[in-house]
A and B are shown apart, each in its own frame.
Chain A
Amino acid sequence: MGGGLEGNAIYRAVYGLVVDTLGWASWLAYFIAAMVIILIVVNGVLVLGTLYTWFERRVLGRFQGRLGPNRTGPFGLLQPIADALKLMFKEDIVPRGADRLVFSLAPIVMLVPTLLVLAIIPFGRGSFLADLNIGVLYIAAVGGITTVAVLMAGYASANKFATFGSMRAVAMVVSYEIPLVMALLGVTVLAASMSMVAVVEAQHLPYLLVAPLGAGVFLVAISAELNRNPFDVLEAESELVAGYLTEYSGMKYGVFMLAEFTNTIVAGAIFAVLFLQGWQWTVLSPLGSQVGFLGFLDTGVVRQIESHFWFLFKVGLFAFAATWVRATLPRLRIDQILSLAWKVLFPLSLLNVLVLAVEVIVWPEPSVGDLAIMAAINWPVAGAAFFVAARLVSLGTRAPGLGVGAAVGVR
């Protein structure tokens, strides 16, 4: 029980306090220490997600040549709090004919996968809640619960726009889950493990460099799973009213928004772990991953803090890139989105796994040098694959025919 917690500094501190000072039973100490850590992790990430709403609005403002929210507190930093207060005081409306119970449960279910994924993310050196040996698969499994939440929200609203929105969303999310899982499979093949900690430790070079194809497919697929531009047909304000959120208002809407923005942060954390070396930073550090920039101050605490810093830095990079994409790309049509998943991303992700599998057979347990050779092979392969895919596959600028597009409400 609690495999990795013993290595956690906070855990040891709280455990020691409860057992030695208060003299309580060890299982109670375990329980309290775990609760303290969960409290810190969950609240920390939710606060980050809230702050991300501010960050995204400010950065989008810059991209669009305007200021963004800047009146509430310094630089507008208190804007998320103001928004939350506003949402809380709004009237909570449940439409007549709606399935009240399911309607109210949907926002909560939406937030569940976000928080469950946090259990396996290593936030720094030796700093994680659980090191499951099926960690990578766990992400895919827990992410699937989002689909159920969207369906609950869309169906229980008793509104045709909401139902259509949720059916589109599910068609999209289910399609993109396949390339996403295949991209995760590439990482698993490289690291020869599904444990998140093992994946970080196996990354002598970031897998973004070693497997560009996998990283690219993962980025596109995760944007679709997050319902972010250019795949935000879930909300598509201008087309579907607001998709499955049509009937939601007040704090229920707020919880959906919170889940959406927190999901982006969590996806950044997953990307950082799987493709950017997690808490390590070999590429920039001349002395290698074990020492880091502050190598001359090589004490346990400094290394610990540095590892957390690098991790958060990479999450921040992802968050910025996500906003950048949102500011740049227009929304795709639902049939184009589905074509992209099945005709482009799926074959590319298969190619990625195939190439990586062959390379891992040639270089089992790859060192830095082996990974560099792999990168040298994989970049041209990725470039050629993207080129061929772009030439062969048309995303259908013509009017969509019958098919999946019609089934989810596009003509």
Chain B
Amino acid sequence: MAGNLFQEIVFWLLAATTVGAALLVVHVQSLFRAALLLIVSFLGVAGIFAMVNAEFLAVAQVLIYVGGIAVLVIFAVMLTRDVDRGNLGTPVQPVALLLAVVLLGTLTYAVVQAEWRLLPDDLPGPLAAVFVDTPAQLGRLLVRDFVLAFEVAGALLFAAVIGALALVRER
């Protein structure tokens, strides 16, 4: 039982950090601090992934969101004027608020209403292996079973890179 209590505590700490940081992202005046708080929120999500034994997902979350996207966001902030003044009000704000509330409501409804099926403790062999060695299973799926989709995604990204290069090329 001690283990479960421990898990509960960790979960609530992580959840509070994630949601708290996310709320502060919207409320804090300085855009730079908002970007940093976004990172805290990302890390909280990574922590929750790690807690449910999805280590690969947790590491990918840190690698892509903290190492990549957050740095890109901070660069964008640095190119912005009047960072410390924060955002000005726009006429779109009420609409955005409405949309956000509708989205939150829908998601909450879906999560509460969904029938979550718990896996039994004694999983059959092949299914249990998925939880032991996630990266190997993912690799098998990506480059063996769904290799076509994987390659198409690769080609798409390659085209995007070439497009970006063509846009910034000196004439």
Q: Which of B28-36, B87-95, B108-116, B145-153 contacts A (4 or more CB under 8 A)?
A: B28-36
Nearest to A145 among chain B residues (CB) is B66
Q: How many residues of A contact B (CB 8 A)?
A: 33
Q: Is the CB of B78 within 8 A of A155?
A: yes
| Interface 1/0 per residue, B129-140 and A, CB below 8 Å | 000111110000
- Cα distance A137–B132 when bound, in Å? 17
- Specify which of A1, A163, A402 is in contact with B170 (CB 8 Å cutoff): A402
Q: Which of B55-63, B97-105, B119-127 contacts A (4 or more CB under 8 A)?
A: B55-63
- Specify which of B62, B70, B71, B136 is in contact with A141 (CB 8 Å cutoff): B62
Q: Is the CB of B67 within 8 A of A177?
A: yes
Residues 1-52 of B contacting A (Cβ, < 8 Å): 2-3, 6, 30, 32-33, 36, 39
- Cα distance A102–B30 when bound, in Å? 11
- Is B158 an interface residue, CB under 8 A from the partner? no
**For B134, what are the chain A residues with a Cβ–Cβ distance below 8 Å?**
133-134
Q: Is the CB of B66 within 8 A of A144?
A: yes
**For B136, what are the chain A residues with a Cβ–Cβ distance below 8 Å?**
193
Q: Is the CB of B32 within 8 A of A102?
A: yes
Q: Is the CB of A102 within 8 A of B36?
A: yes
Q: Is the CB of A152 within 8 A of B55?
A: no
Q: A134-B135, A170-B75 are in contact. Are A141 and B67 (CB under 8 A)?
A: yes
Q: Is the CB of A167 within 8 A of B62?
A: no
Q: Which of A142, A144, A145, A177 has the most chain B CB within a 10 Å cutoff?
A: A144
- Cα distance A174–B135 when bound, in Å? 24
- Cα distance A99–B68 when bound, in Å? 23
Q: Is the CB of A141 within 8 A of B59?
A: yes
**For B60, what are the chain A residues with a Cβ–Cβ distance below 8 Å?**
137, 141
- Is A264 an interface residue, CB under 8 A from the partner? no
**For B32, what are the chain A residues with a Cβ–Cβ distance below 8 Å?**
99, 102, 155-156
Shortest distance between the CB of B130 and any CB in chain A (Å): 12
**For B74, what are the chain A residues with a Cβ–Cβ distance below 8 Å?**
148, 151, 155
- Cα distance A155–B71 when bound, in Å? 12
**For A143, what are the chain B residues with a Cβ–Cβ distance below 8 Å?**
67
Residues 229-267 of A contacting B (Cβ, < 8 Å): none
Q: How many residues of B contact A (CB 8 A)?
A: 28
Q: A99-B30, A142-B62 are in contact. Are A27 and B2 (CB under 8 A)?
A: yes
Q: Is the CB of A147 within 8 A of B33?
A: no
- Is A385 an interface residue, CB under 8 A from the partner? no
Nearest to A177 among chain B residues (CB) is B67
**For A144, what are the chain B residues with a Cβ–Cβ distance below 8 Å?**
62-63, 66-68, 71
Q: Is the CB of A194 within 8 A of B135?
A: yes
- Specify which of A101, A141, A148 is in contact with B63 (CB 8 Å cutoff): A141
- Cα distance A133–B33 when bound, in Å? 34
Q: Is the CB of B55 within 8 A of A133?
A: yes
- Is A42 an interface residue, CB under 8 A from the partner? no
| Interface 1/0 per residue, A101-141 and B, CB below 8 Å | 11000000000000000000000000000001110011011
Shortest distance between the CB of A163 and any CB in chain B (Å): 7
- Is A25 an interface residue, CB under 8 A from the partner? yes
- Cα distance A152–B37 when bound, in Å? 12
Q: Which of A155, A156, A177 has the most chain B CB within a 10 Å cutoff?
A: A155
Shortest distance between the CB of B120 and any CB in chain A (Å): 21
- Is A95 an interface residue, CB under 8 A from the partner? no
Residues 156-175 of A contacting B (Cβ, < 8 Å): 156, 163, 167, 170, 174
**For A286, what are the chain B residues with a Cβ–Cβ distance below 8 Å?**
none
Q: Is the CB of B67 within 8 A of A138?
A: no
Q: Is the CB of A134 within 8 A of B56?
A: yes
Q: Is the CB of B59 within 8 A of A25?
A: no
Shortest distance between the CB of A212 and any CB in chain B (Å): 25
Which residues of A are at the interface with B, using a C-beta cutoff of 8 A? 1, 25, 27, 99, 101-102, 132-134, 137-138, 140-145, 147-148, 151-152, 155-156, 163, 167, 170, 174, 177, 193-194, 401-403
Apart from the given pairs A134-B59, A134-B134, A140-B63, 10 other A-B contacts in the complex at a CB distance below 8 Å: A27-B3, A27-B6, A101-B33, A102-B32, A144-B68, A145-B62, A147-B71, A148-B36, A148-B66, A170-B71
6 example contacts (A-B, Cβ-Cβ < 8 A) are as follows: A101-B33, A134-B134, A134-B135, A141-B60, A145-B62, A145-B67
